[in-house]
Chain A
Amino acid sequence: MTAHPNLLLEHFSYTYPFADRPAFTDVSFELLSGETLGIVGPSTSGKTSLLYAIAGILQKHFPAGIMSGNILREAAKPFISPAEIGFVFQDQYMQLSGATETVEAEIAFSLEQLGTPPNIIRERIVEQVSQFHLEHLARRHPQTLSGGETRMLALACEMAKHPRCLLLDQPTESLHPEGINLLINALNRIKQSAMLIVVEHRLELINALCDKVLFLLNGNQQFYGHPSELFSSDIDTHSLDIPSWIDAQRKLLGHVETLSYRKSLRTLQQWHSSNLQT
């Protein structure tokens, strides 16, 4: 692996035009191809804007905003070309092109725009349809899919590009556990050859996937490091969702250190009755 990061942000800040406070300030991190970065933090803390900046969207569509610090991508390109980037929006409905009549055509759409040869497009369609179990939907109109099915389609469309940089904004929303597993498998598959950045509230996923995690709160970088250190560090994480295993420890065991096992079991039962029966 090369020592040069493929993506480097140094004290990077951005303020939208007419906004009274920056979307995010003083963000610094570096990422190599093959690495995965997780971004966590409550809503309105600037996570999506940061993804937009990395994808070059802010520079292109909101050029009047104020930007400071450095953002360095490979070969110092101002924007990543659409062929190299995959972007899964938080709102899956935004992702549909609106110009196609079948799920297959929707997967092909972006590849067609990028000039991919038709035989490769066909391969990619087959690959994505099987990867996300879309077989039974392949000939359906994209606008008649359910919420979760639309999310799967959005993921398939972006992954079909085989992007070198894949940005995902809360990709697990409206998916059921099996769908999340499909997503994780798919991400693990392209992980070796791409750079992944995931905004996610579910810390289990961050823990399972990411090499690094960045915690944003009100636009400020609170933490940047290995996921396992996030909860052991002394930063204030009360604004984050509690990972389910810690939640379980708290709810089931209460003050287990000082209690006997028998007593903790009683706490457990009490917890159950108070939560499930009232």
Chain B
Amino acid sequence: MKIKFHPIVLIALLIFAFITALAGEIIHQLLFIALLLFVSVFLKKRKAFWKKMATFGIPLTVVLIILNDVILPPLATGHPSQGIHYALRFLVLLICLLTIVHTTTPTEFALGLRSLRLPPRFNHIFLLSFEVFDSFRTITRNVTIAQQLRGFRIRRNIFNRAKNLFPLFFPVVFSALSMSLDRGIALDLKGINSPSAKTYLAEWKPTILDKLTTVFLIVCSFLFFLFR
């Protein structure tokens, strides 16, 4: 089965995840995690999903729990376990992001958003943020290759990998930003900001189900926020 949600559903889901993580009770968060884990079973890219969970999500969750419950002195928040509290928040956001990343590609996402016929300014902001997101991925990949080509030995160990990523961070951010400046110029010349009504060869409109889910998620987030 291939699950394909329109981007507006995914955005609503992300909002919902934020609210659940920040304002929800432990039971809500657990439910949310359970629901998403259930959905992830049907994902086409579920292997990649679980690989990221295993190499990154679960170890970090454990570290969070240990850090808060064993190493740091307890805070007076009234929660029985500070660590579990933080870990759940983290898991909610992480699983939601992973689900979103593995249900769509940036280009599909962009197509869906374009088909919503948002005002040009929104269109531009969305596209540019994609550029940044997309360039983060490509630049990270390219830089890793370039480093290896100049004698850097990548170690298979997770901790070393995290250590390798750290010095990568600034160059990647820097070049993504400077690239998106250039890309911004290119997109501008492609008429992104043009005031005329846009036409579309291919479109991806939200279905009724998409719309209903979106409304449902937004209403839920709202209620959560009000009655936390």
A and B touching (Cβ–Cβ under 8 A):
yes
Within 8 A of B (CB), among A88-147: 89, 91, 94-95, 97-101, 105, 108-118, 121-122, 143
Give CA–CA (A9, B14) in the complex, Å: 52
Nearest CB of B to A162, in Å: 13
Once the chains bind, are A113 and B186 in contact (CB under 8 Å)? no
Q: Does A203 contact B (CB under 8 A)?
A: no
Across the interface, name the chain A residue whose C-beta is closest to B138: A143
In the complex, which of the residues B134, B185, B194, B199 contacts A98, with contact meaning CB atoms closer than 8 Å? B134
Q: Are B201 and A112 in contact (CB under 8 A)?
A: yes
Interface residues on B, range: 35 or more
Partner of A82 from B106, B182, B184, B190 at Cβ < 8 Å: B190
A85 to B185, CA, bound (A): 13
Contact call B130/A99, Cβ cutoff below 8 A: yes
Please count how many residues in chain A sit with their CB below 8 Å of the partner chain's CB atoms.
Answer: 34
- B194 near A113 with CB under 8 A, answer yes
Contact B191 A97 (CB under 8 A): no
**Cβ-based interface call for B127 (8 A):** yes
Question: Could you give, for residues 133-171 of chain B, a 1 whenever the CB lies within 8 Å of some chain A CB and a 0 otherwise?
Answer: 011001000000000000000000000000000000000
Judge whether B198 and A115 touch: CB under 8 Å: yes
Which residues of A are found within 8 Å of B181, using beta-carbon distances? 61
| A111 partner residues in chain B, CB cutoff 8 A | 199
Q: Assess the B187–A118 pair: CB atoms within 8 A.
A: no
Chain B residues, Cβ within 8 Å of A81: 194
A127 to B192, CA, bound (A): 23
A60 at interface, CB cutoff 8 A: yes
Q: Does B183 contact A (CB under 8 A)?
A: yes
* Contacts A/B (CB < 8 Å), 23 sampled: A61-B184, A61-B188, A81-B194, A82-B189, A83-B191, A83-B194, A87-B186, A89-B182, A94-B186, A95-B186, A97-B186, A97-B190, A98-B106, A98-B135, A99-B107, A99-B130, A109-B190, A110-B190, A115-B194, A115-B196, A115-B197, A115-B198, A118-B201
**Top 4 closest pairs, chain A to chain B, by CB:** A113-B191, A115-B196, A110-B190, A82-B191
